[in-house]
Structure 1
Amino acid sequence: MPDTHLDAALDARVDAILRGAIDPHVHSGPSIAARAVDHLELARDLSAAGFAAVITKDHDYSGVMTAALIARHHPDLTTRVYSCIVLNNVIGGMNPYAVEHCAAMGGKIVFMPTLSAENHLRWEKTSGYAHPASTQKIRPASAVPVLDANGAVRDDVKEILDVVARNDLALASGHLHVTETWKVFEEAQLRGVKRLVFTHPEEIVDASLNDVRGIAAMGAFVEHSICMFLDGSKFKVRREEELADFIEAAGVGQTIIASDLGQVGAYHPLEGMRRGVRLCLRLGYEDGQVRQMVSTNAARAFGLEADVARVLGH
């Protein structure tokens, strides 16, 4: 029989690690794709677990307006809700006006294209994946390029990078191919961008562990979608043990664990984070190291240190 005392002790340990946590990549709704939880439900669930903050992400719109409404009408919630913008077709691709608006409303991250990335559209053809909303409710995505015909960063991308730098936003690589990420991140640093996040190197972007090492050495954080490692997850593409290889490549201090959940038929984002903490503990990481990867690193990446301090009382 399982030892319920040991189970209870592990649960308490996980709860303690997640107090003050941040999930910076959640696909809550409303969305034109089916979602299992909406932004307010998510905030309530994470507040009950003592999370400091969450950053909602939709491929087609910035959730900054919803975040503002939740902050105004639910000041009792422990978890602060923030959002981002993804430079896909629906918001106009490389649209500096949309990025400036997101920044003015308190947005935290600008994602390079995801469903509209040239790399994503190539990947879709061999992966068997198709975003349901893009085929059922709106026309299929068209490419939003980041490099010109000579392989240099495009001028419209440079304009976006200038807005990101001016507003001290985080720049996330989205679904760019890793070779594109190198060039965009290098240009971003030249233009004064201080916050860089490499999105799920374990899937879609064709990154090697050497890429992870190098991009982390630039000062970028490496964000892992824990749903891609967890047994029982419909998004699993990597063995659970491989997470340690990625963490060691970047270093604990440059690694962020995010759920990348919220979809129908998948783990709830909170359950995904809980399972992610348990996985990190099984892999031999100490409680303080896991806390870095689920809380303080994201706080540094996205400027949310005050939210963590508020929850932890210091």
Structure 2
Amino acid sequence: MSGVAGLIDLHVHSSPDVRARYADDLGVARDAAGAGMAAILLKCHVLPTADRARIADDAVDGVRVFGGVVLNEPVGGLNPAAVRVALEIGGRCVWMPTEDAASHRRRAGGSGGLRVVDGLGRITQDVRRILDLVAAHDAILATGHLSVSETVRLVGEAVSAGVTRVLVNHPDAAQVAMPVDVQRELAAVGALMERCAVDTTDKPGRVPVHELAERIGEVGVASNVLTSDLGQAHNGRPVDGFGRFIGALRECGLSEKDVHRMAATNPAALLDLELEST
């Protein structure tokens, strides 16, 4: 698929997983290679992907495959030991809690969950250790599904700790719902905003593509990354969904240069990956 050739997707779900996925790690890697993509980043809410990504990266030619760890309850939550291992075996991204974040659970009508701050709003010691590990390995810190206030606090602490690669996960999604003025505030300190194809699909809280395009314009192309967040069995091949998303953004007036910046240059910088010249 020429529409995604040379691009990078930093948010791909695959199996093994506890949920039905379109394909396993090797399958999504082969699809990405066949479409001419430069790289993908595997994400799983319940299992680390750093080790799996190394296997897929070695097994599939024509595309780079990266992984990391999501700090949900199955890996011990905000667990510095899990982060250390994931980064030492080559993981490139550490996601803060997603579905086990207290904010996510509250929005879903539940209770409990993980927070990166204590009762006084201070970043916890375990999170400080995690930020130090991310900084030492020059990895990506992704903010997961934290509340807006927690995300702001976390990004500030991350920058102070020397983290230079920060990705704010789908700020447009209902489980995050970050106001654009806060997005601009975080972009001003170097964080990148993630715009996901899945948020425009037929699901609760759907965001029209033209609204995403408007928010990209408000925050600035230099501070945005395009991803798919696809791989769910019912949504089909991630490369196809990513291509449709990018095509829709072009129809909203984004230029080829803008798309390349957000789906190749910016994610490559996060991964510290040198792109082949075209």
* Structure 2 length-normalised TM: 0.95
Instruction: Show the counterpart of 2:178.
Output: 207
Equivalent AA in structure 1 for residue 268 of structure 2: A
Aligned equivalents of 2:204, 2:28: Cα separation in 1? 20
2:131 paired residue number: 161
Q: Which amino acid in structure 1 is aligned with residue 213 of structure 2?
A: A
| Distance in 2 of aligned mates of 1:199 and 1:72 | 28
Q: Quote the Cα distance in structure 2 between the aligned partners of 1:245 and 1:286.
A: 14
Q: Note the C-alpha offset of 1:298.
A: 0.4
Q: Which amino acid aligns with 2:103?
A: N
Report SS of the residue matched to 1:241: helix
Conservation of the 8 A alpha-carbon contact between 1:221 and 1:301: no
CA contact (8 A) 1:110 1:164 kept: yes
Of 244-253 and 110-119, deviating more is 244-253
Q: CA RMSD in A?
A: 1.6
Matched pairs, number: 277
Q: Which has the larger radius of gyration?
A: 1
Q: Is the 8 A contact 1:20 1:52 kept in 2?
A: yes
Query: Which amino acid in the other structure matches residue 107 of structure 1?
Result: G
Q: Quick check: 1:51–1:79 contact (8 Å CA) kept in 2?
A: yes
Instruction: Provide the residue aligned with 1:173 in structure 2.
Output: 143
Aligned to 1:245: 214
Report the Cα offset of residue 196 of structure 1. 0.6
| Contact 2:71–2:97 under 8 Å retained in 1 | yes
Determine the structure 1 residue equivalent to 2:233: 264
Residue 63 of structure 1 corresponds to 49
Partner of 1:288: 257
How far off its partner does 1:249 sit?
2.3
Q: Percent identity of the aligned residues?
A: 35
Out of 7, 25, 29, the residue aligned to residue 11 of structure 2 is: 25
CA contact (8 A) 1:18 1:291 kept: no
Q: Deviations over 1:207-228 (max 9, x none)?
A: 1111111111111010111121
- Deviation of the 1:70 alpha carbon: 2.1
More deviation in 172-181 or 267-276? 267-276
What's the CA shift for 1:150?
0.6
What residue number does 1:7 align with?
Answer: none
CA distance in 1, matches of 2:98, 2:195: 15
Separation (CA, whole Å) in 2 of partners of 1:235 and 1:259:
17
Match for 1:90 among 68, 74, 77?
Answer: 74
1:124 maps to 108
Amino acid at match of 1:245: E
Indicate the residue corresponding to 1:229 in structure 2.
Answer: 200
1:154 Cα deviation from its structure 2 partner: 1.0
Amino acid at match of 2:53: A
1:23 is matched by which residue type in structure 2?
Answer: D
CA shift at 1:206, angstroms?
2.3
The residue type paired with residue 80 of structure 2 is P
SS in 2 for 1:110: strand
Displaced runs of 4 or more, over 4 A: none
Distance 2:238 2:128 in 1: 34
Displacement of 1:234 in angstroms is 3.8
Which residue number corresponds to residue 80 of structure 1? Answer: 64
Contact kept in structure 1, 2:57 and 2:66, CA below 8 Å: no
Structure-2 residue corresponding to 1:51: 37
Pick from 245, 255, 264 the counterpart of residue 276 of structure 1.
245
Gaps of 5+ in 1: 1-13, 127-140
Q: Does 1:41 align with 2:10?
A: no
Letter matched to residue 266 of structure 1:
N
In structure 2, the residue matched to 1:107 is 91
CA contact (8 A) 2:26 2:59 kept: no
AA in 2 matched with 1:26: V
Question: Is the contact between residue 57 and residue 63 of structure 2 (CA under 8 Å) also seen in structure 1?
Answer: no
Which residues of structure 2 form unaligned runs of 5+?
Answer: none
The one-letter code sitting in structure 1 at the alignment partner of 2:183 is V
